[in-house]
Structure 1
Amino acid sequence: MGDQYRVTFAGFDADTDGQNAIERLAMKLGVSTQKVEAFTQGKPLFGSSEKNKCLKQAKLLAIYGFQSKIQEIQTSSSNVANHAANERVFEALDYITSSLIRIEEKLEDLEQRIDGQQKADDDKEEEQWQSDDLFDELDLDSEPKPKSKKLLYTLLSILFVLLIVLGFSLAFPEMVQF
């Protein structure tokens, strides 16, 4: 990572009208005049960049009558730590991506193996269905056990009683109060 620089405002040329220069520069850059005015008050107009780019920015400002200085920006340890953290995140994402690709390849291999085994199993099943050995093991003559209807009758009787109570309460609401 190279050194970073920023263009700062130093003043106007002697023969330059400040307001006119601000309006022309704002129109050229496609920014608001307030942003250019803020630049004349010490706020940055351009982001930090390489020295060559800052020199080009200073030449542009000189065309419109601005005097400027190029200042080196001190990189703080937090920027270095932030950059290192970003690098670790990118390395982790790269590892995850490559792991996902390997997993996807293994899944494709397993699908191909399973498809091959299923075809072989289907062929074996077709052969087995042709033999009567499977039917010999089954007890096809047994009748299903009759289910008890005691629970059904109990539920129906409770429902019937509740319907009678509901009808009575609707017919005579003054007699039945809950």
Structure 2
Amino acid sequence: MSEHFRVVFSGFKPGTDNQAAIEQLAAKLKVSEQKVTDFTSGKPLFGPADKQKCLKQAKLLAIYGIQSKLQSQASAGTGVAQDAANERVFDALDYITSSLIRIEEKLDELEQRIDGKQVQNEQSEDDEWEDESLFSELELDSEPPKRSKKLLYILLSLLVLLLVVLGISLAFPELVPM
């Protein structure tokens, strides 16, 4: 694995207008002035590269009055990749967590809707059973109409007569012609 370097800001050349140098460099690199200002604060402007490329970057910075130095990134190269991977993992976990929270909120909302409908249904069922209109058709307090006992006596006497005839026919089989 080849050794990588990074160009790090070390200061401005004496007699250089700082703001003008930042503006000119931002225009040359076609980046925002904020990014160049962040570079002067210690953040990287260029990614890790081989030594020749970093020397060219340092020369470019020197043209605009910015002093820089090379910092070795050999052991940190895998660290940078590891940091980037960790950053992506944390971003993914954050996304998953926020998605789970949104899903949980939706489930709670649906549960409240369902519970509300069930409560309304139960109340309407209770109201239906408590409603007096269902029982108004039935007259529960009225007495059943009195039936005539005459028919009952006739049926009872007919039953007794048939039992007598059956008893005679069993006792005296020769009296009943067949």
Same fold (TM > 0.5) = no
TM-score normalised over the length of structure 2: 0.43
TM-score normalised over the length of structure 1: 0.43
